[in-house]
Amino acid sequence: MPSFLRTLLRLAVTTALPLMAADPAAPAEPTAPPAAKAPAAPSAESLSRTIADAEIAFKAGDWDKAIEKFETVTAAPSGSISPELCHNLATAHFRAGNDASAALWMRRALALHPWLPESRQNLRFLANKSGFLSFERSFAERIPKRFLIPALTASAWAAGLALLWLLWLTPKPGRRWPLTAILGTAVPIFITSLVFLALKQKAAAPVTACEVVTAKDASAFTAPAEASPTVISLPQGSEVLPIRTEGLWTYCAIPSPSDQPLRGWVRSASLEKLWPWHQSLAD
């Protein structure tokens, strides 16, 4: 066979093989639709303008607008949650006649700053007005971990270095008093921080786990049905500690006016999380 015929035959075979391998009846594979773009988070400049608008509305007594603007900031992924912001939002809710939301935001302000005097005073006022229930928390339980852990770490390092210096370098008697003073200060701080952290770990009702009653005429029942006997009425603003959820109901531990613990079923729609953000912000 002439060489040019062999070349033509080779070209025909190499061209036909891919065509024979393809299945003309096979449907084309669908292409995945483009992923939807997530909404862009508001910029820091946009949040600053929103806060400024909220403060203007707050000073003007336009409570609905102030609430809308403040809640826009708190709902933003990059929103700056601060005790002052929560306190102002609580005040706006109170002035607008929303006592339940006012109590909720006052509790959130105190979760960030347990000794904020204005929030403590206003929460007491709301408690006297509505009679809502709150868990009793010790002084140790109120101190955030973000204060205790640095104190524990710094005092441990200071005490360790001072003790190492005393034992290893053995300074002269006249030069030991600064080290003993450091030890005398660091060791009590270390022990106190350690004890407070242990008490905080054993807290019966951590703020970040609690929920607040926001619905009117809410009650706790002995069973997940409104026809069952009532355990206790829950005024708006009351704290509860969820234990488990079944359908539309949540089984909760309830602050007791007496020494006897209370538990009951509360409609889940009547509750709102006290702390909806990351736990580390309030710890």
Domain with 240 in it: what CATH number? 2.30.30.40
Residue recorded with tokens 């006052």: 106
Residue 87 included in any domain: yes
What is the spatial distance between Cα 120 and Cα 114, in angstroms, rounded to a whole number? 8
User: Of 72, 69, 107, nearest to 87 (Cα)?
Assistant: 107
**52 and 125 fall within a common domain:** yes
Instruction: Give phi and psi for 236, each to the nearest 5.
Output: -55, 135
Rounded (10°) angle between helices 83-95 and 63-75: 150
- Helix 145-164 and helix 177-201, axial crossing angle in degrees, nearest 10: 150
By DSSP bridging, strand 239-246 and strand 218-221 are unpaired
* Radius of gyration over every alpha carbon of the chain, rounded to an integer in angstroms: 32
Q: How many domains does the chain have?
A: 3
CB atoms within 10 A of CB 172: 6
Q: Determine the 3-state secondary structure of 162 from DSSP.
A: helix
117-130 and 83-95 are packed helices; what angle lies between their axes, rounded to 10 degrees?
30
Structural domain includes residue 271: yes
**pLDDT of the residue at 30:** 45
Indicate if 196 and 246 belong to the same structural domain: no
Supply the range of the domain harboring residue 125: 46-130
Q: How far is C-alpha 184 from the geometric centre of its chain's CA atoms? A: 37
User: Which of 109, 130, 151 finishes a domain?
Assistant: 130
Predicted local distance difference test score (pLDDT) of residue 153: 93
| Domain termination site, one of 130, 164, 179 | 130
The verdict on residue 254 lying in a domain is yes
* Whether residue 252 sits in one domain with residue 195: no
User: Does residue 135 sit within a domain?
Assistant: no
Distance CA 47, CA 80 (A): 9
Which pLDDT value is given to residue 40?
56
Task: Report the half-sphere exposure of 81 (CA within 13 A, side-chain side).
Answer: 22
Maximum C-alpha span of the chain? 113
* The pair of three-digit structure tokens given for residue 227, joined into one six-digit string: 């026809």
Q: Are residues 76 and 114 in the same domain?
A: yes
Do the beta carbons of residue 97 and residue 75 sit within 8 Å? no
> What is the C-alpha separation between 250 and 256, in angstroms, rounded?
18
Residue 92: give its domain's CATH number: 1.25.40.10
Sign of CA dihedral 91, 93, 97, 98: negative
Q: Alpha-carbon distance 105 to 119, whole Å?
A: 9
- Alpha carbon distance 198, 195 (integer Å): 5
Q: Are residues 196 and 219 in the same domain?
A: no
Judge residue 246's burial from the number of C-beta atoms within 10 Å of its C-beta, 0-12 exposed, 13-18 middle, 19 or more buried. exposed
Give the pLDDT of residue 12: 41
- The whole-angstrom separation of Cα 109 and Cα 118 is 10
- Whole-prediction pTM: 0.75
Low-confidence ranges of the chain (pLDDT < 50): 1, 3-9, 11-33, 35-36, 38
